[in-house]
Structure 1
């Protein structure tokens, strides 16, 4: 068995990967909703961030509003994801689940790949 190489170059923005899920096929709307529900079910706080594709490898992304502390509706989170995408149509948009107890991110995934 051989390991597949994913050539990624700084000089080729279309080749760049954002995180582990970037190596998988794009998620459907239902799959994204299931991930949001997982974040909520774990008691994590959903947050939305966005960045220009050429800056996606930077540590700092723009936060879309504040994290949605205590949100229990996947539809409300997805509505904010849609609002972020509409306001920043060319940017990458990612969903984060902040784990209060571990003081870290429990989930982090790109839900919309920006135009390059």
Structure 2
């Protein structure tokens, strides 16, 4: 078992969701995770926030959720557009489950710059 040396005082050390404990995903691995969201029938939603506020429960919504979107490339373009518009922010993708009425998955795709 490994102890992760993370703290609120060190923004670079903070972990977000399960994937942040793993090595950084490649572009192909990210694509596969997005395909999983699409295959589950979940609606993709893009959010962003400043690194210093990432531990809070509120993230800014980037546009409306992409209801019914099944094109992985379109989802990747929205993630990139959000990152381009907010290069210093963390950008995450959620898979919203209509049946359970909650987020089925969530992953940070771009980590913002910390001060």
For Structure 1 versus Structure 2, the TM-score category normalised by the shorter chain is over 0.9
For normalisation by structure 2, the TM-score amounts to: 0.97
TM-fit CA distance, 1:87: 0.2
- Which of 37, 50, 53 is the matching residue for 1:52? 50
What is the root-mean-square deviation of aligned Cα atoms in Å?
Answer: 0.7
TM-fit CA distance, 1:13: 1.0
- What runs of 5+ residues in structure 1 fail to find an aligned partner? none
- C-alpha distance in 1, partners of 2:68/2:21? 30
- What runs of 5+ residues in structure 2 fail to find an aligned partner? none
For normalisation by structure 1, the TM-score amounts to: 0.96
SS at match of 1:39: helix
SS at match of 2:93: strand
Task: Name segments (4+ residues, structure 1) moved above 6 Å.
Answer: none
TM-fit CA distance, 1:33: 0.8
- Which of 4, 8, 11 is the matching residue for 2:9? 11
Q: How many residues align?
A: 114
SS at match of 1:114: coil
- Of 9-18 and 91-100, deviating more is 9-18
Q: Partner of 1:115 in structure 2?
A: 113
